[in-house]
Amino acid sequence: MPIHLIDHLAEGQHIPGIFQINPSMSLGETIEELVLAALAYLDGEYSDRISYLPLP
């Protein structure tokens, strides 16, 4: 995915962001992380990047 994103951005395109799910997290933990990310979101914070869960 990172290589595709680099190519996409090099073409002048943009994305709202991608979350890479950690397979060792339970479904509940994953949902909690996504809700936290949505609630703490600053405008444009995740644009044009890949973020890995759990968030730091």
Output the tens digit of pLDDT for each of the chain's 56 residues: 788 889 999 999 999 999 999 999 999 999 999 999 889 888 888 999 999 989 87
Q: Element (H or E) spanning 50, and its range? A: strand 50-52
Q: What is the pLDDT of residue 41?
A: 84
Looking at residue 23, what is its pLDDT?
94
At 49 the pLDDT is: 92
The number of folded domains in the chain is 1
Other Cβ atoms closer than 10 A to 29: 13
11: containing domain:
2-52
Query: In this structure, are residues 16 and 50 in contact, taking their beta carbons and an 8 Å threshold?
Result: no
Type of residue numbered 21: I
| Residue that has been written with the tokens 């060792």 in this structure | 24
CB neighbours of 2 closer than 8 A, spacing ≥ 6? 50
